[in-house]
Chains A and B, each alone.
Chain A
Amino acid sequence: MNRTIPVLSAILLVVLVAVASRPQDKKAAAGTPDAAVRSFFEQVKNRNWSSAYSYVSPSSNTDQASIQRELGGKDGSLRTYSTLQEVQTKVLHENDAEALVRANLQWSTAVGASNSSRDVKVVREDGSWKVYWPSEKQQNLPPQVIPVNYLRWDIIRRGPEEDWGAQNVEAPKVRIISMNAIERDGRTIVMGEIVNEDTVPGFVSVGATLLGADNKTLGEESSFDKISHVLLPKEVSPFRIDFPGVKLADVKNVRMTPNSLLVPASADPVIGVLNQRIEKDARGHSMLRGELINQSGQTVNIPHVLATYYDNSGKVIWVADAYVDRALVPQTPVPFTADLREDVAGNVQNYRVTVNHYSLDKGGL
């Protein structure tokens, strides 16, 4: 008896190890469309690409590497710094042969949570449900040399040997050209636009102080990522500053402080924003959509879209932003989507989209 227990334990251990180390089932089976989609994204979440691919229907005509590139990211894009956090599914319709499942995905990214929604087609093959995931056809540029001869601004500052009266190069002159304060979701929001009026680039930020009765300070904040910080000459950027927990009715005055620093900068890259339009998504939410195209020769790793919305009098009524999880490779359009609040959408008469860009080798410049 004393020997039996260790022997049985050893056999059990060997069996468990054998089960755990057996090759993955190349033909994973899902009993329902919902289970197929959930299992697929569960493997994406674990970055187990071969297992995720096992839930994909061969009729998708795609390969594992394409799925990995699309859902795991490439070219140093935001997706490469993201993890799928949560998946919620809902079967929209289903019959014996196929089904449509809406997957609401929440990604945890380097710049915060990112939500997306995708309607996934699921097909029944050999008695089990498989995800139909057609590969994104991405145009590949032929190898070529793209000549770039844009300006770059460098700075020589005054040296210690100069006499005390010698002037330094001054920071660029910036001006706030519009400003509006509203209250939404229990917070006061100050937004507007700022222009670099100078002939040199600047690193710009906008600070705001809310003053209440008796000039008491209610809050002091500055623009963070809802602004283009590097402004080239005559470039206009929106800005938005949120004051959580402050009621607009309590605000008697707003003190704005635009700041600028002279910084080295490059006029490259140029990013076009094409076919911008406001439309409803599958859930009936208003969205601003369009495509970004990098007209230069260098990859932009993380594009950041800033949208400014105006009413019919030209007043800025909302500023929103969205990060694009795909890198902008040269000359290749990439779609973007930015949420638009429903309470704002009805008043939007005009809008403007600008793009911040972050490149791994150049930081934000």
Chain B
Amino acid sequence: MIARNSVGAGVLARAVMGLTLLSGFAFAADLKAPKQATAGESITITAADSGHLLLFGPGGATKRKVSAGDVQIPGEDVRAAGRYMAILDDASAEFYVVAAKPSTVNFLARPSRVPVSRPDAISGVAFVFDEFQNLFLKPAPVKFDLSVKENAPATRTVESKNGIAFTRLPSASKEGAAQFVASVAGGTPVRRVVQQVASDACDLRMKAQKTDKSIIVETDPIKDCSGNAVPDGTIVTFIEVTDKGRSTVDARIKRGTARAELPLSSNGTISVASGVVTGNELHLGGGQ
């Protein structure tokens, strides 16, 4: 019988609370609280009686002795966004705290290293937070800047959805450490570095010179199709095919060019390749 009465009272209380929420205030018996508050800003709860006010929220719980009337809840007690519940004896009230204005972003930039001149190769994801590290769920403009050295930055402004803003940008045509920056108005920009590196070799060319003991082959300075120097250490394969057989040397680019020593021969061909890119071919004893 008692249990049934308690259930009935609960249903009634929730119905009353629902009605009061519609009217802008939540109160249960003798507690009134605003329906919504902003993180970090103080709020006022009206209590009909004195006693111990308990406040439960996502960031913790507080207990304070209050007198009947308006009770000031300081901003630091409602920093965490989410649902709160105030309880005074057998009365209670619920309210919701939303994030304060955007002030910071957490920024993920991928990849850390990308070849030049690739469309949509760089992605940036920004998570918008207020100063109390609450995710800002309302739409907010996030600015993404991507710049290499002294070149003008590529800028894109994206409105966040549910706290997240996402963009894709092409890599620039010049190699170097690109500064990828995400920011919100009035907030601190967050910087990531995306290393833009030379792409595959382009127009790979070599020349050969006979010595007493061998043939020295050396490439011209190796660059990609945008004119960036292919990094030192990259493998360049020289292949000499003669009637004695085939000779190969996997040379490394050093100071922009690759060089190798091949067996001396008066006929045959020499070719050059780097990865899947092939270069010119030289005919020994022939035209070249």
Q: Which residues of A contact B (CB under 8 A)?
A: 149-151, 153, 163-170, 177, 195, 197-201, 232-236, 267, 270-277, 290, 295, 351-354
Q: Which residues of B contact A (CB under 8 A)?
A: 106-113, 190, 192, 197-198, 200-201, 231-236, 244-252, 254, 260-263, 274-276
Whether B276 and A177, one on each chain, are in contact in the complex, defined by CB atoms closer than 8 angstroms, is yes
Whether B252 and A353, one on each chain, are in contact in the complex, defined by CB atoms closer than 8 angstroms, is no
Q: Which 3 A-B pairs have the closest CB atoms?
A: A277-B245, A234-B275, A151-B233
Cα-based distance from A148 to B250 in the complex (angstroms): 16
Of B233, B261, B274, the contact of A272 (CB 8 Å cutoff): B261
Whether A270 and B233, one on each chain, are in contact in the complex, defined by CB atoms closer than 8 angstroms, is no
Whether B109 and A167, one on each chain, are in contact in the complex, defined by CB atoms closer than 8 angstroms, is yes
**Which of chain B's residues has its CB closest to A234's CB?**
B275
Q: Could you say which residues of chain A place their CB within 8 Å of the CB of B247?
A: 272-276, 290
Whether A233 and B234, one on each chain, are in contact in the complex, defined by CB atoms closer than 8 angstroms, is yes
Whether B232 and A276, one on each chain, are in contact in the complex, defined by CB atoms closer than 8 angstroms, is no
Cα-based distance from A276 to B242 in the complex (angstroms): 10
Whether A277 and B246, one on each chain, are in contact in the complex, defined by CB atoms closer than 8 angstroms, is yes
Whether B113 and A232, one on each chain, are in contact in the complex, defined by CB atoms closer than 8 angstroms, is no
- B contacts with A: majority SS: strand
Of B107, B112, B197, B248, the contact of A353 (CB 8 Å cutoff): B248
CB distance from A258 to the nearest CB of B (A): 15
Of B108, B112, B200, the contact of A165 (CB 8 Å cutoff): B108
Whether B112 and A290, one on each chain, are in contact in the complex, defined by CB atoms closer than 8 angstroms, is no
Whether A234 and B108, one on each chain, are in contact in the complex, defined by CB atoms closer than 8 angstroms, is no
Q: Could you say which residues of chain B place their CB within 8 Å of the CB of A276?
A: 245-248
Q: Could you say which residues of chain A place their CB within 8 Å of the CB of B261?
A: 272, 295
Cα-based distance from A236 to B278 in the complex (angstroms): 13
CB distance from B165 to the nearest CB of A (A): 13
A sample of 11 inter-chain contacts (CB < 8 A) reads A169-B113, A170-B113, A199-B231, A232-B233, A234-B201, A234-B234, A236-B235, A270-B249, A270-B260, A273-B247, A295-B249
**Which of chain B's residues has its CB closest to A265's CB?**
B233
**Which of chain A's residues has its CB closest to B234's CB?**
A233
Q: Could you say which residues of chain A place their CB within 8 Å of the CB of B190?
A: 165
Apart from A233-B235, A270-B251, 10 more pairs, CB < 8 Å: A151-B252, A167-B111, A198-B197, A199-B198, A232-B233, A235-B235, A267-B233, A270-B260, A275-B245, A276-B248
Of A151, A153, A170, A177, the contact of B112 (CB 8 Å cutoff): A170
